[in-house]
């Protein structure tokens, strides 16, 4: 049975009186008549932030910060109320908060500039590209009394929240393992590999479901399409409390887009599929085993096949919920669910994954020389057999 955790709450938590006072004593700019937000970067995610913030309660105005003026004006044509600036420095005197949706390598510098100006900051994942940068941002947010939040959007997904609620309620029994698959054909990024691009999602989901952080990691990755960019990775995350192992398969080089998380428990199992019409399905299935003995003829494994339930999931957009939470944190003194400490833990995990990937595999002793493989010309592509065996067959 998985016990409830107190370290990662589902609902936003208000700051303590001392914490609120500390924030007010900082250099954060007072917010009046709603939050004025600058969105830095008008690409795929930046344009989505502009859309949801335009409809978010408590937002008084939006400024687009984009060096490509044609791109900014194109977005402005769809949202007439927004203004446009060429640089973050030009926008800072006119805003209370900044949303950063630029390539990861620029996150730390932009966020630090905004925090030092006393602005609240929401950064798309990852917060930074090193734990040292993340720690500096966290320190600056504390010094200035500002909100620092990271866009781990899946933690605001209603299906993921329902899965966590059922897990904490013990519906699945003892959790054997959790497996996540995040696959697609692309999109290749110039400044990060597949681990730093996709794994933050999976790590944040696993940490959120378990209310814990991993103790150890093991990982493997490879570069197939481009020599210097890892585009496929397998990750193993071991948690202590509760004692669960999580697995993540990541790929930019897969024929199908896949976004699934599978929870396997002793009582029930579940599959969260972000692309399915029914995003969460609960399976009353399992196997009755014996911990101290393998299955045998005298004691065969007993399988259970029960109902499959698809609970109702509210169709709320996760990004809209996330950005509204960011605004609430500013207006009401709420500590972000995905704050700086949360992000620092995930980045430390990513760095541990990098170190694990850097280790060489274990060479097997006593390997025999490789046997050349041969394909019969009359049966192209049907079977590959050692040359010596093929010769015997022909005789």
Asked if residue 247 and residue 136 are part of one domain, the reply reads no
Asked if residue 261 and residue 206 are part of one domain, the reply reads yes
Is 80 exposed, middle or buried, given 0-12, 13-18 or 19+ CB atoms closer than 10 A? exposed
Residue 109 sits in which domain range?
Answer: 13-151+319-350
In order along its 395 residues, the chain shows pLDDT tens digits of 334 333 333 334 444 333 343 344 356 767 778 999 999 999 999 999 999 999 999 999 999 999 999 999 999 999 988 999 999 999 999 999 999 999 999 999 999 999 999 999 999 999 999 999 999 999 999 999 999 999 999 999 999 999 999 999 999 999 999 999 999 998 898 889 999 999 999 999 999 999 999 999 999 999 999 878 999 999 999 999 899 999 999 999 999 999 999 999 999 999 999 999 999 999 999 887 656 666 666 666 778 889 999 999 999 999 999 999 999 999 998 899 999 999 999 999 999 999 999 886 767 787 555 555 554 454 444 444 455 544 554 55
From CA 321, how far away is CA 53, in angstroms rounded?
10
Q: Residue 256 falls within a domain, yes or no? A: yes
From CA 207, how far away is CA 155, in angstroms rounded?
10
Q: Residue 324 falls within a domain, yes or no? A: yes
From CA 272, how far away is CA 265, in angstroms rounded?
14
SS3 163: helix
Q: How many structural domains does the chain have?
A: 3
From CA 284, how far away is CA 228, in angstroms rounded?
44
CATH for 232? 3.30.360.10
State CA 41 to chain mean position distance.
Answer: 20
Asked if residue 380 and residue 263 are part of one domain, the reply reads no
> Pairing relation of β-strands 385-386 and 373-374?
antiparallel
Asked if residue 58 and residue 160 are part of one domain, the reply reads no
Peptide bond into 242 cis (omega under 30): yes
Asked if residue 220 and residue 329 are part of one domain, the reply reads no
Q: pTM to 2 decimals?
A: 0.83
Packing angle of the helix pair 318-332, 44-54 (nearest 10 deg): 60
User: CB–CB of 301/289 below 8 Å?
Assistant: yes
Asked if residue 82 and residue 166 are part of one domain, the reply reads no
């Amino acid at each position: 049975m998985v016990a409830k955790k107190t370290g990662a709450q589902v609902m936003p938590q208000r700051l303590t009186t001392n914490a609120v006072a500390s924030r007010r004593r900082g250099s954060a700019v007072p917010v009046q008549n709603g939050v004025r937000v600058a969105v830095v970067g008008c690409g795929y995610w930046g344009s989505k932030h502009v859309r949801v913030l335009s409809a978010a309660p408590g937002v008084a105005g939006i400024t687009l910060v984009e060096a490509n003026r044609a791109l900014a004006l194109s977005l402005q044509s769809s949202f007439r109320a927004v203004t446009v600036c060429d640089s973050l420095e030009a926008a800072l005197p006119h805003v209370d908060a900044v949303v950063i949706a630029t390539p990861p390598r620029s996150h730390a510098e932009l966020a630090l500039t905004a925090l030092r100006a006393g602005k609240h900051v929401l950064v798309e994942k990852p917060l930074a590209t090193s734990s040292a940068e993340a720690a500096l941002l966290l320190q600056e947010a504390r010094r200035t009394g500002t909100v620092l939040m990271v866009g781990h959007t899946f933690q605001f997904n209603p299906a993921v929240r329902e899965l966590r609620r059922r897990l904490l309620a013990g519906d699945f029994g003892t959790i054997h393992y959790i497996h996540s698959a995040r696959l697609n054909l692309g999109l290749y990024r110039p400044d990060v590999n597949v681990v730093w691009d996709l794994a933050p999602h999976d790590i944040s989901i696993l940490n959120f479901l378990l209310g814990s952080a991993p103790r150890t990691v093991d990982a493997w990755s490879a570069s197939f399409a481009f020599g210097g960019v890892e585009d496929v990775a397998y990750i193993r995350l071991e948690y202590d409390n509760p004692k669960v192992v999580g697995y993540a398969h990541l790929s930019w080089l897969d024929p199908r887009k896949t976004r699934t998380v599978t929870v396997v428990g002793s009582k029930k199992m579940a599959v969260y599929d972000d692309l399915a019409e029914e995003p969460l399905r609960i399976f009353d299935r399992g196997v009755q085993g014996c911990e101290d003995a393998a299955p045998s003829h005298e004691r065969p494994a007993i399988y259970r096949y029960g109902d499959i339930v698809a609970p109702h999931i509210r169709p709320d957009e996760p990004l809209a919920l996330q950005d509204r939470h960011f605004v609430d944190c500013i207006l009401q003194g709420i500590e972000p669910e995905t704050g700086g400490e949360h992000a620092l833990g995930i980045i430390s995990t990513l760095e541990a994954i990098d170190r694990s990937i850097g280790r060489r595999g274990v060479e097997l002793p006593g390997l025999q020389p490789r046997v050349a493989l041969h394909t019969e010309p009359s049966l192209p592509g049907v079977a590959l057999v050692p040359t010596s065996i093929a010769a015997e067959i022909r005789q």
